[in-house]
Amino acid sequence: MERLRLVREQAGVTQREVADFLNLNRTTYNKYENGASTPTPEILARIADFFHVSVDYLLEREETPTPAYSDIPNVRQIKKKKIPVLGEIACGKPIFADEQRDVYVSVTDDLVCDYALIAKGESMTPRIHDGDLVFIREMPAVENGRIAAVLIEDEATLKRVFFDAGRQQLTLTADNPAFPPFVYTGAELMSIRILGLAVAAQTRL
């Protein structure tokens, strides 16, 4: 798609940046530009959204591109940023948190977070489902009742945190009542660390 390459070059972005926005690898996106592969209608619509043009313009059905949002009165341009996806986090029994720093996802600039994790399991349903992206803001402590990423020795889990300072007891609870809470006291607390607060989740439809 020659028009796709021209639009990208005019926008001053790399193939990697567009591929990251689409959650694709650069080779796949490169095939779209070279005509070796055709994007699905859904992906084509997302590409058009990224460049603020119409699908018809990308397909060369029209010669005049849709104006950028910044050029339309009373419409605010949505700024985006990229954050790393650091592997999976358990919604159930803790699992090893495998960092995958070569994987990134685009989010709106107003979402204050440091990285994303992929939820695994059903213990946090109905709020968070298996396969959801969960966005984490790094902090060493969270308010009682908030959902946090918690490191237990070398394994990570996503749970609601309740800490009783008087009893020196930490309770990690699931939203799904079918899953029992994890309770830690005394010396057990030394092996536990709050990684950060869950600030948002993205469901994959």
What pLDDT shows up at residue 65?
A: 59
What percent of the chain has a predicted confidence (pLDDT) above 90? 28
Which residue has better confidence, 198 or 107?
198
Report the CATH fold assignment for 80-202. Umud Fragment, subunit A (2.10.109)
Looking at the annotation, which residues are catalytic?
A: 123, 159
CATH 1.10.260.40 in the chain is located at 2-71
Angle CA(105)–CA(126)–CA(122) in degrees, nearest 5? 75
Task: Give the pLDDT mean for 46-66.
Answer: 76
pLDDT at residue 138 above 70? Answer: yes
- Of 37-51, 82-96, 165-179, the one with minimum mean pLDDT is 82-96
Indicate the helix (H) or strand (E) that contains 197: strand 192-202
Domain boundaries for CATH 2.10.109.10 within the chain: 80-202
Evaluate the CA torsion angle 52, 56, 57, 58 in order and state its sign. positive
Widest CA span in the chain: 70
- Given a contact cutoff of 8 angstroms between Cβ atoms, the answer to whether 100 and 86 are in contact is yes
Task: Identify the CATH class of 2-71.
Answer: mainly alpha
